[in-house]
Each structure stands twice: as C-alpha cells, then as structure tokens.
Amino acid sequence: MIDRQMPVKIIPLGGLEQIGMNITAIEYNDTIIVVDCGLSFPDDDMLGIDLVIPDISYLLENKKKVKGLVITHGHEDHIGSIPYIEKQLQMPIYATRLTMGLIEYKLEEHGILNDVDRHVMSYGQTVKFGPIRVEFIRTNHSIADSAALAIFTPAGTLVHTGDFKVDYTPVFGGVIDLQRFAELGKAGVLALMADSTNVTREGFTPSERTVGKTFDHIFDENRDHRMIIATFASNVDRVQQIINSARKYKRKVIVQGRSMVNVISIASELGYLSIPDNTMIEIDEAKNYPDEQLVYITTGSQGENMAVLSRIAASIHNKISIKPGDVVIFSSSPIPGNEKAVYRVINELEQKGAKVIYHDAHVSGHACQEELKLIYALTKPRYAIPVHGEYRHLKRHAELAVEMGIPKKRVKLIKCGDVLSVSNDTFDVTGSVPAQGVLVDGLGVGDVGNIVLRDRQHLSENGLIVVALTLEHSTNQLLAGPDIISRGFVYVRESESLLEDCRMVVEETLDECLARNISDWSRIKGKIRDELGEFLWKRTKRSPMILPIISEV
C-alpha cells in the first residue's frame, strides 16, 4: 500500500559545489532511480589521476532497491562514469536516441555493451519504476536530444531540468516544451531541481544559431588563411554550423581528435549531423589543397594537455604545424579552473604567428537568470533545490528562487551526500551518505586514495632520497653502503659534499641503533628517516621523501 505521507528522498552523490560528476539518487520506499552518471576531471593537486567518478557505496548497499538509470543528455559530466558504475550495479539505462548512441559507444569500449539493458526514450514517453514514474521532456542545450525529467512519486512531482537553456531557434530539433512545464505547474510541482551553471548571468542565453552567423563572418574575413577551430566534441550543433560555413565558403573539413571523430561518426550515423558530400577529407589529403581551402575541427578548447590543439601549440603534433597567418578559433568558454591552461595554449599559438579568436565564437548551453525565472513561473514549485554548479552558483540560484516568490524556508542548499527528505510537510536533510568521489588512475579504480595522493604531492614538491644499505644477517653490521640516491631533490654532481654528509648521518644513526640493541628493521628505517630528514631540513630547508632500503646477507 502506498503511503502518500512518506517523503521522497533526494540524494545527490555528485554535481553540487562542483562542475561535473552529476549523479542523483531519488528514493521512495523500496525503489531507487538514478538520474545521470557523470564524471569530473581531476583538480591540480590530484597528481596522475585521469578521472573522478562518483562514490556509489550507498547504491551498492541498497542494490536491490536500484531499479534504473535515467539520463538527461550526452555530455561527459552526465554519462562519463556509466561504464564504471554499470560493472557494479547492472542498472537498465533509459535515454534519448543520441544520448544512448554516445553511451553505447562507451559501453562497447569497456566490453560490456551486451551486458547492459538499454531503452531509447522519446519526448513525452514515461517509464515506470514501482511507485515512481519518469517522463522525458524536450529541452535545449549545447547537445541535441537533451531532456528534463518529470519524476512522479506518491509524495509529489519532482521536476529535474537537467542542463538546459531556452532556445527558440535551435540548430537541430524542436524548441523546449514550455507547455509541458506549464501543465506540470498547473497540476502541482513538489520540488524543482534546476540548472545553476549560468545563474550569475543576467538576461537570456543567445540562441546557438547566432554562432553560425559569427562563423560566417569569421570565414568571410579570413578567406586567405587556414583555419583551426577547437570546440567540445559533444557540441554537435556547433560542429554542424562549422560544416555549414565551410561548405558556404568552399573549404574542406578535416576532423582531428579521437573523441571528436567518434561523436561526429555517431551523430551523423543517427541523423543528427548533416555532412554534404565531398566536404570532409582525411588529414593526409590536406596536402592536395591550398591552406585557404582548409578548416580543421579539433579537440582542445579547454587547454587539455594531450588534446589536439595543445599538441599543435606545443609543436608536438605529428601532422599539423602552426604557420604565420593561421586563424585559430576557440569556440567555447573556459570551464572554471581551466583558464590558465587555455591562456597558455593561446600564448603558444600567438608566439608562433597565429591569429587567435577566443571571445566571440561561442554561446553557452545553460540558462541565464530570465530563463530560470521563466521555468519557475511555469512550474510554480513548492520547494526549490538548486543543482549543477559551484557553491556561488547554488547560493545565487537560491536568492533567485526567493525573488520568484518561494519562501526562504522552502529553498534548500544541499551538498553531495545529503539525504533530503521531501513531502508536502517535510523539507529537511535527514541524513548523509558517502559521496567523496573515486579516483581513476589508468586501469585502477579507487586504488589511489588520499595517502597515495599525499605521497605524490610530496614527491612533486621535494623529490626523493633513497638510502640503500646491506646488513649482516646475524649482527646487523653494515656490510655495504649506505648509498644515497637523489631523484628530484638535488643534482648529484653538484651536491657531492651534501650527499657525503648524508652518508655519515646514516652511518651514525646505524651505530646508535646497534649500541641500543635495536634490531627491528622497521625501527631502524624509521630512525634513518627521522635523523636524515632533520639533517636535510637544517641544511636545505627542504623535506624530500626518504626511502630506506635494507638488504640482508
């Protein structure tokens, strides 16, 4: 029997107080559905880490309750963790057509495509998970087939916007279904979970189609120069407009970057990208055309080290070199935290003689203040729960909700791991679950934690000293060494006296251990670390990692 007084639980496992790794569990009684399953990229202090994926400990503990994964759109911060999580949870996936195409490519890469139950959804279609029903609603974003979700529960209706904007002239597909938002508002919305990414910007986000006019203008002004355009691989509409301008100005298009090639292949195969015949060529064919007839579409708009544009800028790309007069366009805005990397690449390009355009060839895929106000006016939610953004975004979103007439006590700023219980009479954080993120390093998932990261930080800042010595089995007398090996601490040839003094410190420490009848190797190693560390700090004001290695004969 359904208890309509029982609150629905909203449990964000990522995506709050950060950009990326969006994932939220919606729980009612014995049913859990998961909304999105994204990844984030490592912070600067996460040395050697490739990706950060959600901590799904809570979902694993409640595996029998988890009924399905519903996806709003196909960006990495919403689908990137799916292969890692599916290996543990085996959830059926529900997504729109292009989104599912991108997900299937990831599952195939991980060798689990045939193990995952997949369902392609249409706008207006609903899927039932026990007492919870989910409807997909058409929205606009910087990737086609984006959806908002109406989540119907016995406690009330939740509306999750996903990432969205209001675009009345989208490049592909229809206009956001504002009528459906209004119908939901008329029927009664318990809580609105809306995108906060652009909430600090006033007004409306311009239509994606305006970028096409900008491209036409840039192509027209630079008819005599080779062009290189970097954008997000997943921004299919942006790629379409580059192709349109290239066709109009009689240029051949060359696509570079693995993710870019993959997304364009999937999107064109599914009919989301229209590429006229004889427009695309392979990079080896470029030599057959003058520079002014070529435009390259590449990855690397965020300054990523190994992306195509960064390698071109650093002169390490094996087939493309910057020539004076080249026009390079950044068709994106830097994600918060990436500014330094982006400007480094811009500087490198301009030093090589390129003309770089990085201000005018982009519009956001996220709603500004007036679009958010429109969604609030249509849905009339009882409660407001800002999602998707750093704390400053969430805070400003909360203020906007109050401006729209929602009482302050009905607006809640929550953080990852909070369990928010919501019903007509309840709106409180009633618990917490683990939600710290799991680090992916190569093939290792979760095997690198804070201690390893701290060691890597230590090594990167101060280097390593290895102390190698050989002791006699029965007496612990020194037979060979100590040899002092420096890596990343001092240059050996210029620091011979320092290293000789280090040997003397180690020998004296060993003598002291023997005099005190200390035979336990772990205690000897600890004593070497302490004494040598103190000596090096006094001499150099530096604290390298000290690694004693003892061999026995």
- The helix (H) or strand (E) run that includes residue 229 is strand 227-230
What's the CA angle centered on 277, arms 234 and 259, to 5 degrees?
Answer: 20
- The helix (H) or strand (E) run that includes residue 375 is helix 369-379
Joined tokens for residue 140:
């606009």
3-class secondary-structure state, position 424: coil
Taking alpha carbons only, the member of 427, 344, 347 closest to residue 384 is: 427
Joined tokens for residue 533:
């560390």
Joined tokens for residue 383:
């409660």
Reading phi first (left if > 0) and then psi (alpha if -120 to 50, else beta), residue 367 is in: beta
CA distance 381 to 389: 20
CA distance 23 to 25: 7
| Single-letter amino acid, residue 315 | S
117 phi and psi angles, rounded to 5 deg? -80, 120
Reading phi first (left if > 0) and then psi (alpha if -120 to 50, else beta), residue 388 is in: left
- Distance (Å) of CA 531 to CA 336, 503, 504: 44, 11, 11
125 phi and psi angles, rounded to 5 deg? -80, 145
Identify whether the C-beta of residue 270 lies closer than 8 Å to the C-beta of residue 98: yes
3-class secondary-structure state, position 101: helix
Joined tokens for residue 19:
């950009």
Taking alpha carbons only, the member of 285, 291, 227, 229 closest to residue 260 is: 229
* Spatial strand order in the sheet of 23-28: 118-120, 93-95, 66-70, 31-35, 23-28, 8-14, 418-422, 427-432
Taking alpha carbons only, the member of 441, 452, 394 closest to residue 42 is: 441
| Single-letter amino acid, residue 273 | L
482 phi and psi angles, rounded to 5 deg? -75, 140
Among residues 145, 163, 177, 195, which one is catalytic? Answer: 195
Which residues are CB-neighbours of 111 under 8 A, at least 6 positions away?
none
- Is 195 part of the annotated catalytic residue set? yes
Identify whether the C-beta of residue 10 lies closer than 8 Å to the C-beta of residue 193: yes
| Single-letter amino acid, residue 301 | S
34 phi and psi angles, rounded to 5 deg? -115, 130
- Is 359 part of the annotated catalytic residue set? no
Among residues 366, 388, 393, 397, which one is catalytic? Answer: 366
CA distance 316 to 280: 24
Identify whether the C-beta of residue 532 lies closer than 8 Å to the C-beta of residue 499: no
What are the catalytic residues? 195, 366
